[in-house]
Amino acid sequence: MLQIMMNDILGTPAILIGIFALIGLLLQKKGIGEIVSGTLKTVLGFILVSAGAEIIVRSLDVFGKMFNQAFAINGVIPNNEAIVAVAQNKFGAATALIMVFGMVVNLILARFTPLKYIFLTGHHTLFMACLIAVILTTNGVSGVALVFTGSIILGALMVLSPAILQPFVRQITGSDQFAVGHFGSIGYFVSGWVGKWFGNKEKSTETIKVPKQLSFLRDTSVAVSLTMAILFVIVACFAGPAYIQEKLSGGQNYLVYSIIQAITFAAGVYVVLNGVRMLIAEIVPAFKGIAEKIVPQAKPALDCPTVFPFSPNAVIIGFLSSFLAGLTSMFLLPMLGLKVIVPGLVPHFFTGATAGVFGNATGGRRGAFFGSFANGLIISFLPALLLPALGSLGFEGTTFGDADFGVVGLILSYLLQWF
């Protein structure tokens, strides 16, 4: 039963968020038609977001292989999915128990404290549960103490992370209907702070004036396609046609293949944006039932792409700026005696884009650029510092990527060693 609960229900974010929507609609005593429609559309919206994300990840994986071939990079590549997969053989049971009871703690804290957030980003809940299980176990905590302590920590993080971001989310969305539930929150908070102090809120990324001849760039899909096509073609030229056509494209011309991958990336972004719109349109009204009956005034804390539609230009600026910071860090890390962290395209896209939106909300174009650049530095240096704390897991060629994992892992490790 635990395995079914973990892998098939709680481990499937679309089902998890659909269950919450279903409960909310039932508590509001909606008609059968509205319940079925609202639940299915919520699940469909989330699946669209996930499908778009998978398209983006596949395209970025190709870009990463080209990049590594072009510049002969050797180092650790942060990837949450990979490090969790490595950890599951040894820490799977502890991870499952911490995840399940951590969600219970989340509901209790949301019910009885002012932090009215219910964290609905299931895969990040799993990733953080895994990190906590690894850190606690490698520092000698086991049994009931492991599950109890881990669940309390996870549940607390599931309300604190959305809480620190909510003032910025209100500026981004112009409302207080939902929160961001994603464990890159430290990077987003720093980006919002950088934008506030070093940016110019009046000059938003969304008011960039485009010459009439280039008015087609106002279309997000076209702008993303062209931007990524330029990046892909440049890197493809350095990687060389032989490598691409023999190892990646199956014989297709390397330039044609690169352009198709760039447009595929843009298609993924388009699917994500439309999935987010559907998800928000359904989950927010459905969630009122839970807010009214179980956790008064509760807000759903949703995955980071939910803010993308509010500042599409900032999404691209944020990604590119964060990735630039990752490249810069590759030269700085060895100078400080740290392991080289190869910029992971997936964390830099999702967290960099989100940081760009946060920075733009508080500091316009400068905020989007410098805020996401700060995020890029954070998700480069923190994984390098976290490697020793992960013990043998840290030497599998990968590690946790997003900001909160580094902060939580380091603080928890140092506290356990100290005590």
- In this structure, the number of other CB atoms found within 10 A of the CB of residue 104 comes to 11
pLDDT at 303 > cutoff 80: yes
Is the Cβ–Cβ distance between 98 and 137 less than 8 Å? no
Q: CA-CA distance, 41 to 39, in Å (whole number)?
A: 6
Neighbours of 40 (CB within 10 A): 14
Tell me: pLDDT of 283 over 50.
yes
pLDDT at 395: 47
Q: What is the pTM of this model?
A: 0.81
Write out pLDDT tens, residues 204-232: 988 877 666 655 556 667 877 888 888 89
Six-digit token string for 60: 């970025």
Q: Return the higher-pLDDT residue of 292 and 129.
A: 129
Q: Is the predicted pLDDT of residue 76 greater than 80, yes or no?
A: no
Work out the pLDDT band at 282, boundaries 50, 70, 90.
Answer: confident
Model pLDDT for residues 40-72, shown as the tens digit of each residue: 988 888 788 778 878 887 887 888 888 888 877
- pLDDT at position 87 is 75
DSSP string, 299-362: EEEE-GGGGGGG-HHHHHHHHHHHHHHHHHHHHHHHHTT---B---HHHHHHHHHHHHHHHHHH
pLDDT at 77: 74
Per-residue pLDDT at 215: 58
Share of the chain above pLDDT 70, in %: 90
Backbone angles phi, psi at 115, to 5 degrees: -85, 85
Judge whether residue 410 has pLDDT over 70: yes
Highest mean pLDDT among 70-79, 82-91, 95-104, 213-222: 95-104
Distance (Å) of CA 341 to CA 2, 135, 273, 302, 377 = 36, 21, 30, 28, 11
* Averaged pLDDT, 283-292: 74
CA angle 293, 298, 299 (to 5 degrees): 135
Whether the CA torsion 106, 112, 118, 119 is positive or negative: it is negative
Strand ranges of the sheet holding 299-302, from the earlier edge strand across to the other edge? 117-119, 299-302, 179-180
SS3 state at 178: coil
Cα–Cα dist 318/161, whole Å: 20
- Report the DSSP pairing between strands 179-180 and 77-78: unpaired
Q: How many whole angstroms separate alpha carbon 419 and alpha carbon 414? A: 9
- Express as a percent the part of the chain with pLDDT over 90: 41
Tokens, residue 30: 């909606």
Mean pLDDT of 139-156: 93
360-396 confidence digits (pLDDT tens): 999 999 999 999 999 999 999 999 998 887 765 554 5
* CA-derived radius of gyration, the chain: 21
